[in-house]
């Protein structure tokens, strides 16, 4: 979808609250990609009335809706300080009732994995990749005061996988990338193998299209510095669901990874909120 098409989509404002001088909003609309209603958060700092501001898209992890990041991270303080609009979508289609979509926390509802499913049962609705890259960007660029030339992406866990893969696949949209405890090499971990088998069947060439480490190996776009934070007490890191070292190893002349291991931090929002300020500083420098 282009931003012109995005302009025609009607957004319903679900809530709006003043926060650090700006407004934390939640919008809902009917997504043509997800064939269902979907919500997203939009934090608009003070000052956006007069000029267009840079924007950051934040992708959440397994089990999250748009609410987790809005309510638990405290990001609004940094977005207000750096004057950055923050957009955060849901993690899957909702309310579409596909058999099996609620059987586990790591597949189906709350676990869209930011890909376009090819398996028939899921392919009508589970199109989170196209939703983010085409539809949501089209809407945001046409309806919110965003400077399209200054847009970055970040995320957590499954959303970190989405941020790394979408950011590297679309350097023309996203100029800066960072991630908290991302699933870096989904083809080689249980979460990823379960999701990719379910959504994409056995075609490994399709899997590679959504695997950040595989995408990085082939990356030939503009030079990118990536900030990657990983807590050392993260149980999913120890269970080898995240595999950040595999991604770091692929660094080349085009991709430089700032890999920060954070002593004693786990996988949750206390970890995210502790290092969020550094991520905003990082994006602000690159946008
Ligand atoms: N529910 C799962 C873990 C899922 C999980 O940790 N999700 C992370 C993203 S991967 C999250 O952000 N959860 C929501 C929250 O902490 O608010 C479990 O019990 O093992």
Which atom of ligand 1 approaches the CA of 64 most closely?
14
In the predicted structure, residue 153 carries a pLDDT above the cut 80: yes
Give the nearest ligand 1 atom to 72 CA: 17
CB 41 within 8 A of CB 86: yes
160 within 8 A of 208, measured Cβ to Cβ: no
For residue 117, what are the contacts with CB-CB under 8 A and spacing of at least 6? 123, 126, 127, 199, 200
SS3 128: helix
Closest CA to 68 of 101, 40, 97: 40
The mean pLDDT value for 186-213 works out to 98
Edge-to-edge strand ranges of the sheet holding 36-44: 12-19, 22-31, 36-44, 85-89, 53-59, 146-156, 176-180, 224-231, 255-262
Could you tell me the distance, in angstroms and rounded to a whole number, from the CA of residue 267 to the centre of ligand 1?
8
For the segment 269-277, the average pLDDT, to the nearest whole number, is: 98
Residue pair 63/110 in contact (Cβ under 8 Å)? The answer is: yes
b/e map of 240-274 (b: 16 or more CB within 10 Å)? ebbbbebbbebeeeebebeeeebeebbbbbebbee
CA distances from residue 187 to 14, 81, 144, 196, 237 in whole angstroms, order as listed:
37, 38, 36, 8, 15
What is the fold of 12-286?
Rossmann fold (3.40.50)
The predicted complex's ipTM stands at 0.92
Query: Atom 7 of ligand 1 has which residue's CA nearest to it?
Result: 62
Name which of 95, 98, 103 is nearest 117 in CA terms: 98
The whole-number pLDDT of residue 16 equals: 98
Q: How confident is the model at residue 130 (pLDDT cuts 50, 70, 90)?
A: very high
User: Which residue has the CA at smallest separation from atom 19 of ligand 1?
Assistant: 105
Ligand 1: residue of 267, 270, 272 to mutate (most ligand atoms within 8 A of CB) is 267
Q: What is the DSSP string of 197-261?
A: HHHHTT-HHHHHTT-HHHHHHH--SS-EEEEEEEETT-HHHHTTSS-HHHHHHT--SSEEEEEEE
Q: pTM for the whole thing?
A: 0.97
The 8 Å CB, 24+ separation contacts for 70-73 are: 70/24, 70/26, 70/41, 70/43, 72/269, 72/272, 72/273, 73/269, 73/272, 73/273, 73/276
Q: Is the pLDDT of residue 259 over 80?
A: yes
φ, ψ for residue 223, nearest 5 deg: -60, 140
- For residue 19, the model assigns a pLDDT of 98
Instruction: Kindly state the helix (H) or strand (E) to which residue 17 belongs, with its residue range.
Output: strand 12-19
**pLDDT confidence of 49, banded at 50, 70, 90?**
confident
Average pLDDT of the residues in 90-112: 97
d(CA 91, ligand 1 centre) in Å:
12
Residue 13 per-residue DSSP state:
E
- pLDDT tier for residue 48 given thresholds of 50, 70 and 90: confident
Q: Among all residues, which ones are annotated catalytic?
A: 157, 234, 267
pLDDT above 80 (res 134): yes
> What is the sign of the dihedral through the CA atoms of 91, 95, 99 and 102?
positive
What sign for the dihedral angle of Cα 89, 92, 97, 101? negative
Instruction: Say whether pLDDT at 118 is over 80.
Output: yes
Residue 30 Cα to ligand 1 midpoint, Å, equals 27
The pLDDT tens digits for 210-219 are 999 999 999 9
Query: Which of 234, 268, 271 should be mutated for ligand 1, with most atoms under 8 A from CB?
Result: 268
pLDDT score of 5: 76
- Average pLDDT over the chain, rounded to an integer: 97
Q: Which of 62, 104, 191 to mutate to test the pocket of ligand 1 (most atoms within 8 A of CB)?
A: 62
Average pLDDT over residues 224-231: 98
CA of 269, closest atom in ligand 1: 16
Pocket of ligand 1 (CB under 6 A): 61-64, 68, 72, 105, 156-158, 267-269
Average pLDDT over residues 281-285: 98
Residue 7 banded pLDDT, cuts 50, 70, 90:
confident
The residue count of the chain comes to 287
């Amino acid at each position: 979808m282009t931003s012109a098409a995005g302009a025609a989509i009607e957004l319903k404002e679900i809530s709006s609250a003043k926060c650090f001088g700006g407004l934390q909003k939640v919008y809902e609309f009917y997504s043509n990609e997800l064939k269902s209603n979907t919500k997203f958060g939009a934090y608009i700092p003070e000052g956006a009335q007069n000029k267009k501001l840079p924007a950051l898209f934040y992708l959440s992890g397994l089990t999250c809706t748009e609410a987790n990041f809005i309510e638990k991270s405290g990001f609004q303080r940094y977005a207000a300080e750096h004057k950055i609009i923050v957009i955060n979508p849901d993690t899957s289609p909702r309310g579409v009732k596909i058999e099996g979509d609620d059987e586990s926390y790591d597949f189906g509802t709350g676990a869209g994995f930011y890909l376009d499913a090819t398996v028939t049962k899921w392919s009508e609705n589970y199109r989170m990749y196209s939703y983010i890259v085409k539809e949501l960007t089209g809407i945001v660029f046409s309806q919110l005061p965003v400077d399209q030339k200054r847009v970055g992406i970040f995320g957590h866990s499954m959303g970190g996988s989405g941020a790394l893969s979408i950011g590297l696949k679309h350097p023309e949209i996203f100029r800066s990338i960072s991630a908290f405890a991302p699933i870096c090499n989904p083809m080689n971990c249980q979460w990823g193998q379960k999701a990719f088998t379910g959504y994409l069947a056995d075609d490994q060439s399709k899997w590679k299209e959504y695997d950040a480490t595989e995408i990085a190996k082939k990356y030939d776009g503009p030079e990118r510095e990536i900030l990657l934070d990983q807590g050392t007490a993260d149980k999913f890191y120890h269970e080898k669901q995240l595999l950040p070292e595999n991604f770091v190893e692929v660094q080349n002349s085009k991709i430089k990874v700032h890999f920060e291991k954070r002593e004693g931090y786990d996988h949750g929002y206390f970890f995210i909120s502790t290092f969020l300020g550094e991520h905003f500083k990082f994006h602000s420098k690159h946008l």
